[in-house]
């Protein structure tokens, strides 16, 4: 029997993770992390209702529960990066950094201080053992819910202490287990939005922290077709929310899409048509590469890649560069690869690691 701390979010996945470990005979402790203190635009503090759900679930299961505050760590290690990336005109993915810096660093340290043997979460992923004895991060059994993408920054220390009890289940099975056990979270909808901050109206939320700098929307030829509210509010390939649907393009009508951000001039470059050549590329550079095994498989290798969550696997060639950089060349042209997002590499079900997209090298060029 092991002593296992479970990161309880108030959702059904972590609820069932705790239940399964308890049923397996382990000493289970539920711990709720509070990483954000501000109320949403409706005056609701979602962490309060989540904490109530955690208490209810833990009492039903029959395990002790605690709350721990990592607001300071979250602000310093995750949210500051989130804002810095938007200042650069990029589109960050804070959930990835949150998993490494909060759940599997600050929280893991806390669990070890409690004398735990392991830390469990409700992530849909699995663990494996490589021939050299190192831990592997594997995709979850439910392909529609697999969350290995968000855990690619984890290293061996974290994985050696990690347990993912629901990784071999489907979401439907998780909800059925919760329902049969009478857990109040059995029908609770999946959380979305920014990690630990929750669902927010994006513009009002972001402008609380970053001053908006409105400017012009221009075509590639320099024709002004509208105004933007601030470059930080837009991402490559975006169609909705531009407010220029009735403006004709150079060759007639059509829906408008974001092609680029000119940070120096504070101009949003737009053109009609979602298949514009500038939205497509094959070669990109990534920064901050991390590897589950501690090092890449080779100096250069072929593998599958997801340039964003839920994207089908793309076949790529990866070349390792200096300073934690990688050059990734896709077999087929990719649409709207976005700086700030994560490229995550796979060998079958094994997550190898990944990097943050930094520069798109050949947008608009023929394959």
Give the integer Cα–Cα distance in Å for 245 and 237. 15
First-to-last alpha carbon distance for the chain, in angstroms, is 56
* Helix ranges (DSSP H) in 198-300: 202-206
Give the integer Cα–Cα distance in Å for 281 and 287. 18
Catalytic residue among 58, 98, 186, 351: 98
Of 118, 148, 92, nearest to 27 by C-alpha is 118
Give the integer Cα–Cα distance in Å for 231 and 233. 5
Active site (annotated) includes residue 98: yes
The distance from CA 41 to its chain's CA centroid, rounded to whole angstroms, is 23
Query: Are 358 and 339 spatial neighbours (Cβ–Cβ below 8 Å)?
Result: yes
Backbone angles phi, psi at 214, to 5 degrees: -60, 155
Query: Are 70 and 102 spatial neighbours (Cβ–Cβ below 8 Å)?
Result: yes
Q: Please give the DSSP secondary-structure letter assigned to residue 348.
A: T
Give the integer Cα–Cα distance in Å for 125 and 142. 9
Q: Which tokens belong to 245?
A: 């649907």
Catalytic residue among 125, 195, 305, 351: 195
Give the integer Cα–Cα distance in Å for 226 and 237. 17
Give the integer Cα–Cα distance in Å for 32 and 35. 10
Q: Which tokens belong to 29?
A: 């402790």
Contacts 24+ apart (CB under 8 A), 309-313: 309/93, 309/149, 309/150, 313/346
The residues annotated with a catalytic role in the active site are 98, 195
């Amino acid at each position: 029997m092991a002593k296992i701390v479970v990161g309880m979010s108030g959702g059904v996945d972590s609820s069932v993770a705790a239940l399964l470990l308890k049923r397996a005979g382990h000493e289970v402790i539920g711990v709720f992390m509070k990483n954000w203190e501000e109320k949403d635009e409706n005056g609701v503090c979602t962490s309060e209702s989540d904490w109530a759900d955690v208490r209810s679930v833990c009492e039903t299961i029959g395990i002790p529960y605690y709350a721990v505050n990592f607001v300071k760590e979250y602000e310093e290690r995750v949210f500051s990066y989130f804002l810095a990336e938007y200042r650069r005109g990029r589109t960050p993915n804070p959930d990835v950094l949150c998993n490494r810096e909060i759940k599997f660093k600050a929280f893991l340290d806390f669990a070890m201080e409690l004398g735990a043997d392991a830390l469990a979460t409700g992530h849909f992923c699995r663990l494996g053992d490589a021939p050299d004895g190192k831990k592997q991060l594997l995709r979850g059994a439910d392909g529609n819910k697999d969350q290995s993408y968000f855990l690619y920054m984890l290293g061996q220390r974290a994985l050696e202490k990690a347990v993912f009890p629901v990784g071999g289940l489907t979401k439907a099975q998780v909800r059925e287990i919760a329902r049969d056990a009478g857990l109040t979270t059995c029908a609770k909808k999946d959380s979305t939005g920014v990690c630990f901050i929750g669902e927010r109206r994006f513009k009002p939320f972001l402008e609380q922290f970053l001053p908006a700098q409105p400017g012009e929307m221009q075509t590639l030829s320099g024709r002004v077709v509208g105004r933007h509210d601030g470059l930080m509010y837009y991402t490559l390939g975006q169609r909705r929310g531009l407010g220029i649907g009735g403006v004709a393009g150079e060759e007639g009508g059509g829906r408008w899409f974001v092609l680029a951000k000119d940070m120096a001039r504070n101009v949003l470059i737009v053109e009609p048509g979602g298949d514009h050549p500038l939205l497509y590329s094959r070669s990109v550079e990534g920064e901050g590469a991390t590897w589950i095994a501690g090092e890449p498989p080779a100096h250069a290798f072929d593998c599958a890649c997801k340039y964003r969550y839920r994207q089908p696997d793309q076949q790529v060639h990866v070349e390792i560069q200096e300073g934690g950089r990688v050059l990734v060349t896709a077999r087929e042209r990719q649409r709207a690869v976005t700086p700030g997002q994560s490229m995550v590499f796979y060998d079958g079900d094994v997550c190898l690691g990944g990097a943050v997209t930094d520069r798109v090298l050949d947008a608009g060029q023929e394959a």
